[in-house]
Amino acid sequence: MLEILSLIRSGGDPRWCRSVPNWDRGPWLETLLGYRRARANARPRLISSHLPVQLFPRAFFGSRAKV
């Protein structure tokens, strides 16, 4: 899924996908390092997570985030 979203974000150009590692393109939200990387990435951000939906903050569901 991250590869597909990365291609969409780059307009179909695979150079960005090939030059930037997965953990920089879509860092894991549940790790401190991933959270810091996600905050530093330009918008729109790609964020990965393995958290169950019950652990997401309530504010997330009122945001404009795409899931």
Q: What is the spatial distance between Cα 13 and Cα 66, in angstroms, rounded to a whole number? A: 21
Q: Is 35 exposed, middle or buried (0-12, 13-18, 19+ CB in 10 A)?
A: middle
Q: What is the spatial distance between Cα 9 and Cα 1, in angstroms, rounded to a whole number? A: 12
Q: Residue 18 catalytic? A: no
Q: Of 15, 18, 43, 50, which residue is the catalytic one?
A: 50
Residues serving a catalytic function are 50
